[in-house]
Each structure stands twice: as structure tokens, then as C-alpha cells.
Structure 1
Amino acid sequence: MDADVWNEQVAQGYDESSAHMYAPDVLGPAVSFLERRAGRGPALEFAVGTGRVALPLSERGVRVAGIEKSEPMARELGRKPGGDDVALTIGDMTTSRVPGTFSLVYLVYNAITCLLSQQEQVACFRNAARHLQPGGRFVIEVFVPELQRLPPGETARPFHIGDRHVGFDTYDLVNQQLVSHHYTIVDGQGSTFLSPHRYVWPSELDLMAMLAGLDLSERWADWNEAPFTASSRSHVSVWQKPSHGSASP
């Protein structure tokens, strides 16, 4: 499934289709937030993709490594200025190991939901914990499921409407699955992209962290550290590895 979704065509057009995520008011706060949590230690990005976050974080002096399952996405990262500065491992973020330990492991832009089962998501937390130094932090940025905004009997909800991109999600409420539909116009040509996801609640993520030996230390509505409330549509959560021990394998 991953090979079919994150293929060469998608990788080559990914930055253009995600241009709104490169806007300074979107990307800047994310990089600053992660830089502060990394401190003086190295950082590891799960699902590093084409380097939207890893490259500017590296430019700020943070030593960044990345795990990426899609070889086409990884090639796009390698072609960019500074791409060679990101130590890249091709593999699955649930099982792949990177040499050394890190003060920060992070997973952004809803990438945790690309793992389509609860078991895989739990394995991701455990793999993050294995890579963390004592006192290190695991950061996830992910949407809050939009179920409260679904009228009775409807299963679709838009998440972005722009001049060159429209996106909406369709929900399978029984199986906690959704499919993101992207419709993009580049140079007058239209393209479509569908990606499957498993949506997950903040409380469920907290339980996954607990199973991995991590403790919740922060939860914000966004990278600007706005308070997280019942009406928040996303969250940035931080779990920390205890300084006095190691996480469970």
C-alpha cells in the first residue's frame, strides 16, 4: 500500500501540492517548537518525507536524522540543498533503528495516522522510546477526528480549500479509518491523490505512550502553543522518557 500511495509521481509533486504547509506562518513555528525541545541534542524525524521540517531544523544547527519508507520521497529530499546533512534511513518507522540516541523524536503533519492499525501505532511509540535518551521527548502533530462536525448520516468533511488545492476526508466510523482526497491544480493541470489513514484520539495516544514508558508533558492546540481545548481541531503533544530509567521494549 505504501509503495502505491507514496510513489514517484506523488513524490515529485508533493512539495507543490503541500505548498500551504511551507508558508512561513505554518512552518516557522513548527521548526522553532522542535528546536527548543531538541535542546543541544540530535533529533530524529519519523516519516521525514521530502524534508519540509528536517531541512530548516538542520539549518538552525540541530543534527537531524530521518526514517522514510518511501524511496521516491527520500530521493526528493536528497536532491535538495542540505539534503546530505540529514542522515537518512530507508525503512519503517515502527521497526527501523538508527544508530545512537536522540533528545528529540518527532512525527508531524498527521503522519502517525499513515499507520493503519492500532498495533502499528503502538509499535511506533515503542520505537520512538527506544531511540530516546533519558529525558528525551517524542512530539506528534496530528488532527483531532472531526466526528463532532459530521452531520448525522454524512461521512465526508473538508480539511483544506485553496486556490490550487482542495482536500476532504471520508470516514469509516466503524473501523476508525478515513481516506484523504486531494485535488490539486499545477500549471493548469489537475491531479488527484488518495491516502488512507487510521484516525486516533489524544487519549488513545496517551495510552500508547504509557505502554512505551513515556509520560505526557505537554499538549497544545498548535505549534504556537495555543491552549488545547474541546474545540481544538489539532494538537501538538509531547511525551517524555523518564530521566531515571528506560522505556519498555
Structure 2
Amino acid sequence: MNAPEDYFGEPVAEHYDESSADMFEPELLDATAGLLAGLAGRGRALEFAVGTGRVALPLAERGVEVHGIDLSRAMVSRLRAKPGGDAIGVTIGDIVTTRVEGTFSLVYLVFNTIMNLTTQEAQVDCFRNAAAHLAPGGCFLVEVGVPDLRRLPPGQNVVPFHVGEETLGFDVYDTATQAMSSHHVRVAGGRGEYRAIPFRYVWPAELDLMARIAGLRLRDRWEGWSRQPFTAESRHHVSVWEKPAE
């Protein structure tokens, strides 16, 4: 497998927290950290793609020992600069092959990051990597969106997700391959910036099969962090798979 490309270098890391401000809402983070802390119990938690510590820091504040894996040194440097950031152990590497010493009661991957792995093979291997880190009875949690294909009329392959005075964002889908890409346009100081990030969208049922391949079984699926029921109208889900106890 080719080494993954880091799409979250300094230019992205510099504005990441600002551009994701809605994900830092205290109510959301409280619900997120509360659910994760309950799953971790008295054990350790491992965050795949820990980034700037948006979730790891409030989880650690609840008394959970948190370790992270991340490919981007620029993102991790932002984590380190925050209060409590030095207490989060971080291993630089990808979430498909990188191993951390010891076992964990919880491994988690949030904010659509499973889709940053652009092949089915890589996504399956991510589940296998999570399972390898889990102690028996431990859980792997993934937060990801449900593919937005219902918004695509025949002949269209583009869905805008943000239109503002200074920023524009849209997703491009290839329904034959499940490949997609998110495109971001930002205008600042009279100058335009453009970046595109590739993804592979994935269905809940497909994730369940990946989990089964990795030796995990579905335990819970909710629409969001407040454990709302997952329905046919849900546009996101938080799913938990469990490693069988010995």
C-alpha cells in the first residue's frame, strides 16, 4: 500500500479550528466526551487522527488517559500548544498501519475521517488496526456522514455544502466508484485560495461488514452524540462495534 498523503499540512492546520468552529460548540463537545468516557470506562482511549485535540482534550479532562495517532505534524503542533496538550501522547503515522504499544478499551475515529481513506482496502485495514489495539470487550467508534446521494438529481454529481461571502464548499461524487472529493474556495484580502481533498464515501452496512471482517460486531448506532435514534432520514451516524470478550 502506498504511503498516505498528508492533506492537513501547515496551510490547513493554520485555519483548521476556525474553519470547524461549529464542531467546537461546548454542548456538542460535552456530549461527545461524555459518550466516549462512558465507553472507555477505566481503560485507555486511542484516537485515530487526533488532529488539534478537539475531542482528545475534553475527553482527557474527564480523567480518561488518551493517546492519539496522526499523520500531520502541523495539526499535532496545534494540539501541543493548547492547555493540557502535553498530556496527550501522540504517535506520528497513518491510522491504517501505525501501532501504539499496549491495548485500549476504546478506539475512536470522528468527523468523517474514515472517508479520508480513499480505498475500500484501506478502510478495512483501518478496522483491523483498531481491532488489534482493543482489549477484549473494547469498542471501536466511528462518526461519519451518510452519503448525500439523495440530493443528486439524474445527471448531477455536485452537492454544495457551504456558500458564504468569503468561502464556498462543494462535494463531487462518482457513484460508480464511491470516490468523492471536497472542494474549498476561500477569498481573503482580495486573493483566492483553493484546495481539494479526496474521500471515499461509505455506507453504514458496508462499515458493519468491515467490522465483521476485523472480528468486531455492531453494538450501537445512533444519529448523533446525544444517542438519537438512527433512521432512514439520518444524515450522520455514530456507530460502535465491540470486540468479543475472550
The aligned residue for residue 146 of structure 1 is 148
Identity %: 57
Q: 1:93: how far off? A: 0.6
- 1:78-89 maps to which residues of 2 (within 5 A)? 78-89=80-91
TM-score by length of 2: 0.93
Following superposition, the deviation at residue 190 of structure 1 comes to 5.6
Q: Of 35, 51, 56, which aligns to 2:58? A: 56
Once residues 233 and 159 of structure 2 are traced to their aligned partners in structure 1, the CA distance between those partners, rounded to angstroms, is 16
CA distance in structure 2 between the partners assigned to 1:21 and 1:161 by the alignment: 18
2:124 is paired with a residue of what secondary structure? helix
1:50-107 CA-to-partner distances (Å, cap 9, x unmatched) read 1110011111111000000111111121121111111100011111111111010000
> What SS does the aligned partner of 1:2 have?
coil
State the match for 2:5 in structure 1: 2
Map 1:34-53; keep pairs closer than 5 Å: 34-53=36-55
Instruction: Please give the alpha-carbon distance, in whole angstroms, between the structure 2 residues aligned to 1:95 and 1:156.
Output: 32
Q: What SS does structure 1 have at the residue aligned with 2:141?
A: strand
Q: Distance in 2 between matches of 1:105 and 1:126?
A: 11
Distance 1:183 1:231 in 2: 29
Question: 1:76 is paired with a residue of what secondary structure?
Answer: helix
Deviation at 1:187, TM superposition (A): 8.1
The CA deviation at 1:188 is 8.3
**Partner residue of 1:172?**
174
The one-letter code matched in structure 2 to 1:178 is: M
Q: How does 1:216-235 map to 2 (within 5 A)?
A: 216-235=218-237
Counterparts of 2:187 and 2:219, CA distance in 1 = 41
> Which amino acid is the alignment partner of residue 234 of structure 1?
H
Unmatched 5+ stretches in structure 2: none
Task: Name the stretch that deviates more: 20-29 or 98-107.
Answer: 20-29
Determine the C-alpha separation between the residues in 2 that align with 1:109 and 1:177. Answer: 18
Of the three residues 177, 181, 184, the one matched with 2:183 is 181
CA deviation vs aligned residue, 1:214-248 (integer Å, no higher than 9, x gap):
0000000111111111111010000000012xxxx
**Corresponding position of 2:119:** 117
Deviation for aligned residue 1:26:
2.7
* Structure 1 residue 159, shift from structure 2 partner: 2.9
Please give the alpha-carbon distance, in whole angstroms, between the structure 2 residues aligned to 1:181 and 1:199: 15
Structure 1, residues 190-234: CA drift from partner, whole Å, max 9, x if none? 643321100000011000000000000000011111111111101
Matched, 1:77 2:79: yes
Distance 1:80 1:207 in 2: 38
Instruction: Give the TM-score normalised by structure 1.
Output: 0.92
Which range is displaced more, 144-153 or 18-27? 18-27
Aligned residues: 243
Contact 1:17 1:184 in 2 (8 A): no
Change beyond 3 A, Cα 1:184–1:15: farther
The RMSD of aligned alpha carbons is 1.8
Q: Is the 8 A contact 1:17 1:165 kept in 2?
A: no
- Relative to 1, partners in 2 of residues 1:91 and 1:160: Cα closer, same or farther, differing over 3 Å? same
Aligned partner of 1:12 among 6, 11, 14: 14
| Partner Cα distance (2:115, 2:85) in 1 | 25
Aligned to 2:98: 96
Closer/same/farther in 2, CA of residues 163 and 18 from structure 1, 3 Å limit: farther
Give the counterpart letter for 2:216 in structure 1.
L
CA distance in 2, matches of 1:163, 1:15: 19
Q: Distance in 2 between matches of 1:126 and 1:196?
A: 22
Helix, strand or coil at the partner of 1:139: strand
